[in-house]
């Protein structure tokens, strides 16, 4: 067995099949660490690193939200963006069953099902962004438009703003 063989995640295979350019960034990680710690480990500006959150609507449908690592999802805006009365964050214990990914490795590309996805509108001005690569220790660098295409997402204002 070759030790240096690059391990492809499901998200990477999907991006490859769609001929979407990305760069995989890897780091040592045995347990969950938050996005801010990952950005610091990789020496990345926090503004370009995004986290993937999953919520469930009042209708029992699931929704995916991609937001900056230092931002907080505004549940009212998030619900409005997908036409729901309300949404609630998915419990950590349910992430794998719903998405096929584990906490810290969840990405909008290649979930068990294609869920309605919203990417915070702040990503629109970025040349590229960093998102989870589908497993702990893997991050992907790609353009926001390519992420949008790969996950069938749309941009919207979904984060809390400081008053």
The residue written with tokens 């990503």 in the block is 123
Note the pLDDT of residue 3. 46
Note the pLDDT of residue 161. 80
Domain boundaries, the chain: 22-156
Superfamily, domain 22-156: YbaK/aminoacyl-tRNA synthetase-associated domain (3.90.960.10)
Convert the pLDDT of each residue in 71-97 to its tens digit: 999 999 999 999 999 999 999 999 999
Record the pTM: 0.92
Q: Which residues of the chain have pLDDT under 70?
A: 1-6, 30-33, 162-163
Kindly provide the residue ranges of all beta strands, DSSP E only, lying in the chain, ordered along the sequence: 23-26, 50-57, 62-68, 87-89, 116-120, 129-132, 138-142, 154-156
């Amino acid at each position: 067995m070759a030790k240096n063989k690059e391990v492809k995640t499901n998200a990477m295979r999907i991006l490859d099949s769609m001929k979407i350019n990305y760069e995989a960034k890897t780091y040592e990680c045995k347990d969950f660490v938050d996005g801010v710690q990952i950005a610091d480990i990789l020496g990345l500006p926090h503004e370009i690193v995004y986290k993937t959150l999953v919520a469930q609507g009042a209708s029992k449908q699931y929704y995916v939200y991609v937001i900056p690592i230092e931002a907080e999802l505004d549940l009212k805006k998030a619900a409005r963006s997908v036409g729901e009365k309300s949404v609630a964050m998915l419990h950590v214990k349910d992430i794998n069953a719903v998405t096929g990914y584990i906490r810290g490795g969840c990405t909008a590309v290649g979930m068990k099902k294609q869920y309605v996805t919203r990417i915070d509108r702040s990503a629109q001005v970025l040349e590229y962004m960093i998102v989870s690569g589908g497993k702990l220790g893997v991050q992907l660098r790609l353009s926001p438009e390519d992420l949008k295409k790969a996950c069938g997402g749309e941009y919207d204002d979904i984060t809390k703003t400081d008053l």
